[in-house]
Each structure stands twice: as structure tokens, then as C-alpha cells.
Structure 1
Amino acid sequence: MRARLARVDAVLVQALIAAALSFAHLHDLAMAAGQDGWKAWAYPVSVDLLLVAAWRRLRSGTTKAAAWCWFATALAASLGANVATAGLLDLGNVPAWLRILVAGWPAVAFLGGTLLAHTAPETDPGTEVVEDQEDEPETTPEPPVQPAIEAPTQAPPVPVPSALVEHARKVAAEHHARTGAPIDTPTLRTRLGVPAPMAEAIATHI
């Protein structure tokens, strides 16, 4: 564990030293190209941020072609500043093409950072993205509800007074003697002057 921490610390210290030197070289080159004041300090920040953004996109495994392009661009700017300030370039007489490159760097860095931040991740054509769908409970169709059919109710028998039955028998006998045929219910109802249900009930007794 202690050896691992020592190895990590050594890598971190080395990275900090390299970043500080590269930062200073980029600042010196920007100053020599006519970018003074806060602008000279903004150039190394811009280069380092583009390097970090491209590296993170490479580590994420998406849009690697664009990430490699912008990583190489930022790395070339950093290495170019290191080489230019190593005595191979007269910082007191910077050529015009270098001044043009330094002056145009902000636009390049802005374009690269925007594309890296807003480019949609690449998807593997061999895989499909399946959206999670909530499992819907299975529903079994219910049989249609048949309307309940009420059983026909039988009307209660109409009470018939015995005296009325006797009178109806006399009427029926008289009708049979006169016509030679049994009396029917409508005729019995007319002769007795009773409602149809009662006439039917009387007919069952004679």
C-alpha cells in the first residue's frame, strides 16, 4: 500500500512539474507574439483545458476520432511552445506566421471545446438501445356480464266471492240453454260487468 502511494505521488508530482513548465512556455510565447497582460495567461489555460477535454472524451470511449483530432491539436500547441522557447526561436523577433497562429488560437480552442462538449456519443451499430419498459400486469378478459332476466311473476289469484260464482253459474246455464253453447269469458264478463281478471277467475270455477 505504501509503495503504491509513493508511485502515485511520484506520477502526480511529475505531472504538476510538466504542466507548470508547459504553462510557462505557452505564456512566454504568447507574450512574445504580442499578447500581453491577462491575455498571455489565458493562452496556456485554454490549451490545457482543451487537452483535458479531449483526454476525457478519449477515456469515455465515445467520438474517438474527434477526440484524437483535438487532443493532437492541443498537444501540438503545447509542444510547439516548449520547442519555440527552448532557444530555437528568437522571442524578440517572432515571425508573422507565428503571431497569426497565436492570435487565431482562441477561435480554434473555442470550436474544439464546443464540439467536444456537444457532440453526441457514438453508438455501436451492433448493439441496440432498449428502453426499459415497465412490466404491465397481464389482464384476463372478463366475460361480458349478461343482464339479469327476471323470471315472470305469476299474478296472484283473484279472490272470487262464492255468491258471485253461483250467479255466474246461473248466467252460464241460461246462456247454454238459449244458445246451446258454453258461455265464453268475454260474454261472461259482459253479462256480469266485472273486470277481465275476475271474469277469468270466475270462468275457472264454472
Structure 2
Amino acid sequence: MRAQLARVDAVIVQAVIAGALSFAHLHDLAEAAGQGGWKAWAYPVSVDLLLVAAWRRMREQQRAGQPAGGARLWFLVALAASLSANVATAGLLDLDDVPASLRVVVAGWPAVAFFGGTLLAHTPRTPAPTVTPAPETPPAAAIDEPHREALPEPSPEPEPAAEPITVPVAAPSAPAVSLPPALVDRVRALAEEHRATTGRPADPDHVRVRLGLPPSMTASVAAHL
């Protein structure tokens, strides 16, 4: 557990350092392009928020098995803006005399970011797949009851031996229902989250309850853990 916490802490520290450096580079570039005051601080916030929003929407669509081309496009646009600012402030550009084309690009960024964020926010979310539980097999008692009623009453007089009556046996239980790929990914994600949190394998019944599935789906969930 301590080793896992140490890895998580290292990732967080690295992310904070990289984010702070990228934030500063975007601020310096915006200020050099004529966007002073609070506007220079708003530019890195806009770029980073678009980057995170596009990444989250892309992952949601991929888990649901839907095409994520639009979200991937806006993720690459925000990544290119952040990377360009980092490279431009590395001494390759004179920040005291930036070209007019860069001023135009920086001034037009808010409209581009607003358009991309609006499209991401209004993209319809894919509903979770619904799983129809398999019909339960009737109990053996319900199947055998008509046959019991159909048996002839014993006769007081001796009769020849009757042929044995064959009583049908109850059908075996229905096999585990196969889950859609999107639901399989969700089952495995919950199992990995449980293993990362507790250090123990996930219980199929616990995963089924978190997904809101009926008890008859426990075997189907266990088949993908």
C-alpha cells in the first residue's frame, strides 16, 4: 500500500510541476502578444480546461463503444496550443517583438476555445446499455405437478404390471448471459478500481450491485472478472 501511495504521490507532483510550467509559458506568450492584465492569466486556464474536457469526453465515448473523433480533434487542438506556447517561449521567439501572425492567433483563440467547449458540452451522452435478464426456469415442482395428477388411481383388483411412467426432469439453469462490450469494460473498470483501493480482487456480487443489475446477472459479471 505504501508503494502504491508513493507512486500516486509522484504522479501528482509531476503533474503539478508540468501544469505550472505550461501555465506560465501560456501566460508569458499571451502577454507578449498584447493580452495584458487578467486576460493573460485567462489564456492558460482556457487551454487547460479545453484539454481536460476533451480528454474526459473522448474516454467516455470510447468506453461506450462510440466514435470519439470530435473529442479527439479538440484534444489535439488544445494540446497543440499548449505545446506551441512551451516551444515558443524556449528562446526561439523574441517575446519583445512577436510577429503579427502570432498576435492574430492569440487574439482568435477565445473564439476557437468557446466553439470547441460548446460542442463538447452539447454532445449527447450515450446512455448506459440495458441488459434484459434471462427468464428464470420454473421449479421442478411446478413441472412435475401435472404428471402427478395424471397418475391413475390404484385399483382394488390386481391388474397387470403397468409400464413405468417417465417423469421429465427439470431443465438445467440458463447459462450466463453475455454482456455487451461497453458493460464488460465497465465491469473490469470497477474491478480494477476495487483492487487498486483495497488490494483485493473484486467480488462479482459487489460489482453487480454497483452496476444496478439483477441477482441473476452475478454469473455473467463473474465471467468477466
Secondary structure of the structure 2 residue equivalent to 1:92: coil
Letter in 1 for 2:119: L
CA distance in 1, matches of 2:21, 2:85: 10
**Aligned partner of 1:87 among 84, 87, 91:** 91
Letter in 1 for 2:57: R
**Aligned partner of 1:103 among 103, 107, 113:** 107
The higher radius of gyration belongs to 1
Q: Using the aligned pairs only, state the percent identity.
A: 75
Secondary structure of the structure 2 residue equivalent to 1:94: coil
Query: Which residue of the partner structure matches residue 38 of structure 2?
Result: 38
Structure 1 stretches of 4+ moved >4 Å: 128-131
- After superposition, what is the alpha-carbon deviation per residue over 1:145-192, rounded to whole angstroms, capped at 9, x for unaligned? xxxxxxxxxxxxxxxxxxxxxxxxxxxxxxxxxxxxxxxxxxxxxxxx
- After superposition, what is the alpha-carbon deviation per residue over 1:54-98, rounded to whole angstroms, capped at 9, x for unaligned? 011012125510111000000000000000000000101101111
Letter in 2 for 1:101: V
Shift of 1:121: 3.5
Structure 2, gaps ≥5 residues long: 133-225
Q: Tell me the TM-score normalized by structure 2.
A: 0.54
Q: 1:41 to 1:63 in 2, by over 3 A?
A: farther
- After superposition, what is the alpha-carbon deviation per residue over 1:107-140, rounded to whole angstroms, capped at 9, x for unaligned? 00000000001012468xxxx8789xxxxxxxxx
Q: Tell me the TM-score normalized by structure 1.
A: 0.59
Query: Which residue of the partner structure matches residue 20 of structure 2?
Result: 20
CA distance in 2, matches of 1:12, 1:36: 31
Query: Which residue of the partner structure matches residue 68 of structure 1?
Result: 72
Query: Which residue of the partner structure matches residue 3 of structure 1?
Result: 3
Secondary structure of the structure 1 residue equivalent to 2:108: helix
Structure 1, gaps ≥5 residues long: 132-206
Query: Which residue of the partner structure matches residue 151 of structure 1?
Result: none
CA distance in 2, matches of 1:63, 1:103: 32
Q: 1:5 to 1:129 in 2, by over 3 A?
A: closer
Query: Which residue of the partner structure matches residue 52 of structure 1?
Result: 52
Secondary structure of the structure 2 residue equivalent to 1:108: helix
Letter in 1 for 2:25: H
CA distance in 2, matches of 1:69, 1:86: 26
> Does the 8 Å contact 1:53/1:116 carry over to 2?
yes
Matched positions, count: 128
Q: How does 1:92-131 map to 2 (within 5 A)?
A: 92-121=96-125
- After superposition, what is the alpha-carbon deviation per residue over 1:24-67, rounded to whole angstroms, capped at 9, x for unaligned? 00000000000000000000000000001001101212551011
